[in-house]
Each structure stands twice: as C-alpha cells, then as structure tokens.
Structure 1
Amino acid sequence: MAIDFDAPATAVKSPSKLAHVVLRTNNLKAMSQYYQNFLGARVVHENEMLVFLSYDDEHHRIALVQVPGTQAKLPTSCGLEHIAFTFDSLSDLLLAYRQRKQKGVLPLWPVNHGPTTSIYYRDPDGNQIETQYDNFSDPAQANEFMSSKEFAENPIGVDFDPEDYITRLKKGESEESLTKRIEIGPRGLPEHIQ
C-alpha cells in the first residue's frame, strides 16, 4: 500500500518503540560502571568521550557522552525527571533490587503507584531511574485504574518495603496480592522529587 505523504494529518504517526536514552555527563567512567552494574549491561563501544551500552538485542539502550564544560546537575532545573525500565514479573523486579543491593546500589524510593510497582534509584550524576513491574496484565485495566477516584485522590502511590515483599513471596503470597495498591487517601510529592 502506497503511503500518501501529502494527506492532511489529524495526528502524527507514533514511533514503533523508544530506542535509547543519551545522558550527558562529566563523570564518564563512573557512569559507565554504574549502568553496567545497574542494568547488567555490556559495553558495545567506548572511547574517551562516549560509551554505548546495551542489555538486550538493541545495539544500544543507554549512551553516555562526556562533554567538556558540563556542569553538575541542578536538581531544581527543568529536564528529564527519570528513565524507567520494566520487568516481566514482580519477582524479577525484586531479584534485580536484591542483586543491586549486593553491589551497594540502594533504592531511593520503593512505591506502588497503582499501575506499576516501582523502585527508584539515583545514578552518580543525580539522574533518577525507575525500575517497575506493570501491575495490570492488560493496559485497558491500567487505564481504568488511572481514571478512578482512588488514583485521582492519590496519583503518587503508596510506599512499600522490598524486603517485606520478598519475605511475603517466599512464604507463598501471590504477586497479585502484593501489587494491589493499598489506598491511603491524598498524598503529595515526596521530598526527593521536590
């Protein structure tokens, strides 16, 4: 079928996927090592100013570029808030949490947002990284939850303890019961975001 490049557009064609994220840094070696450890990534290419990393079949998912004159990140400036990575199960999310913990990488904020159960981290430059598990198997169910009164009242979520979840899973509790968000009423932004 021929594409009509001159047809009036009601919407822009969406991309098929998000390919990669590039982070500007003044700390290339530490950032490269961090993301290798954090993602279980391999270096695809590296020189004195660039590192390309991948953890799957994409040629690179994270690129790091060291640019002369780059200043430290200002936490209160506009820009990227975080990058998010999805796991196939709650158990996989918690296994990666435990493996990172063994490497001294500790979470910033574990939270059940409702649509996702998430664990946030901060890299050496101060960028936030979200690791998440989708709590609903069907995107329509997640959209329905995000349209609910409960989500409108608290779009931030409810904090949880990953160690408690691991203990409960080991005792036989289901992932489904752990990912159902407990409602706590209204909640504002947590301190680490402000």
Structure 2
Amino acid sequence: MATPTGRATSGLAPKQLGHLVVQVRDLDRAEDFYTRILGLSVTAKFDGHAVFMSANTELSHELLIVPAKDDSPESQTSGLVHMAWQMESFEDLKALHRRLKDNDIEIVGIGDHGLSLGVYFRDPDENELEAYYEKPKAEWETGGKHIFDSKFPRRLE
C-alpha cells in the first residue's frame, strides 16, 4: 500500500530504485549504445573495467556497465548483476542493516564508494541486492580522479 505521497507504508523502505549493474560482452559497444542512442552521460569511467552513466546530472549514476567474465557469444554471463535500492537517509540504511542482521540475512559485503555507502545481500532466490545511502551532490568530494575517489565519512556500526 502507498501513502498519498507514493511512499510505501510499511515503515522502513527504500526511497527508490537507485541503479542497476549490468554485465556486457563489449564495454565500448555498450557505452556507445547507452550514450549515443539512449542519451546517457558518462559520470565516471575506469578504462576496460567499468562505466558509470546517468540520465540525471544530479545523480552519480543509474547504470553501471561492467565487462562480462566470458565474452563468448554463447555465454550466459551478460545481464543483470545486482539491483540497488537507494535509502532516504543514512539512518534508514543503518536501520535496514540492523534489520538484515536481526533476521539472519547474510550480508555479503559493505561497499564504501566515497559518495555513498552500500550494504550487499541476497534475496531468497540468490539475486544480489544493494541498499545504499548517497550523499547529496553538494557534498560530493571532487578533488580526486573521479567522483568515487574518496572515503564515506560515516560507518554503520
């Protein structure tokens, strides 16, 4: 059920779907498609390893493309890697982290992305999920090589 503002009513819930990570067989070809055809902007790039893209210049990214582990045509390694749910506040991320632990959900990783902090876990079908909090753009540190080149200033515990 949703409130008049469209937010879920079950208490603690993500703000929105934040980004998808997709494996591709040809990183350059995929980057060309998503920028030239779909009109996304590259927000950060790690040559040969990852391209972060966004349709909204206020966000760090909505799509991250990474090369598939096996680029053979019959490979099943391309496709969705994980979905990431953006939390409204850092306090919400901490509360979800506690809820995962309280319900014996295995936390498979904590990701410090500089401008965001993410908690990685799996759903009952083993799909990888990330819940994260991203600092507002005005607080991003831009002195490094790219927007992810810093440390997140807070910890979950």
TM-score category by the smaller chain? 0.3 to 0.5
Larger Rg: 1
Q: What's the TM-score once normalised by structure 1's chain length?
A: 0.36
> By percentage of residues, which structure has more strand?
2
> By percentage of residues, which structure has more helix?
1
With a CA cutoff of 8 Å and minimum separation of 6, indicate the structure with the bigger relative contact order: 2
